[in-house]
Structure 1
Amino acid sequence: MSLVWRDQLSVGNDVIDADHKYLIEIINRAEHSLRARNHRELVEVLESLDQYSRLHFEREEKIAEAVGYTLIPHLNQSHRELLAQLDHIRGEFDAMGHDWSAETVEHFTQFLRDWLINHVVREDLLMKPILQTDHLTRSRLSEYHCPRMTYDLTKLIELILAFCIIRKQSIEIFTSHFRVEFSQDLINLYNLVVISF
């Protein structure tokens, strides 16, 4: 049976929740590859899980910092441990070759499920109280959603605006802090939203 997203897993932040939903999709694909005994596909899915996990952890740490989460060192350490566990299980899988017993499939499937659920339940839900205090910002930003924008760009704009508004900083401070540059259109959108607050 595949993992299914439940509202109880929500941490109160749309960006982090979207990442967790996508990680669930990747783990479901890994489980399907395991049960189908498709070695090539599983290698690709595990690589995807590794890459996306790294992006997610980096994004999550930046959000935690932006909202003033006090357990950032603990969060960072847990992310390093999770990546080490993932590397270890990938090494086990590589050493195993192409012959998988039913017990092996169950072992890897259970590991991947526990790996994600423990991350969300034991670590990320600790951030929920502080992330929920940012609810007003998120709901106000939804008024400016443009259907033509891609999902990722919308989430990026929400993150930028939330960071700047929470910290009461200008977009210029944000761009220098994260060493990024934005188009004039994005800066104009930011200014439009900030004026409305």
Structure 2
Amino acid sequence: MAEKADLRREAGQRTRESLLAAALELIAERGQEGLTLREITVNAGANVAAVSYHFGSLKALCDKAIELALEQYLDAQIESVRSVSPTSTLEELAAAFARPMVRAIAAGGPDLAVMRTVARVGIDPPEGWERLSGKFDQSRQDAIQVMKANLPGVKEPELIFRIRCAAGLLNWLALAPIGRELATKPVKQIERLLTPVVAGAFHGHSDEAEAAQARR
């Protein structure tokens, strides 16, 4: 009996994960508007009753898929930015900041679906977004420490603005045709093309950049 119960639990977990993966893929492709239970269950190889059993409703399933995508993105962002030190250059920070997106564009599949979902929901944040505010703040503060060392004359609100603009640029790449063009290139080439653009958003006015370089 215990063995059968374990098998049922494993099967239930697989179904739950399949539903989340199917929802994420569809949301990444075209957003939540018009998304139906039937589309998700067909893609997941599950029945409609499984959605009610595991999540309660279509909305709850989509919210959970989005939440997981956001959390996965933030964890990757935090880990990548933490790889640089406070004494790193803005170019080194830009490479780290863009790395999760660069790798997702090159890999495609579920990794890119996560980034496309984050890009879509960033325009209209879902309920529960505030639960992840601590991680958003952490990913931003790690970048700010490097930026302050390079741009001591720029106030923190402006640094935050630049970070948000850089993040918006990366999100746009996940959805725009140019992102599909980049996907045909090796990771190193994508990074070479993208890093100066992100670094430019961090640098801001050229006079500030020159002054910062003169002080280093």
TM-score of the aligned structures, taking structure 1 as reference length: 0.33
Structure with greater contact order relative to length (CA < 8 Å, sep ≥ 6)? 1
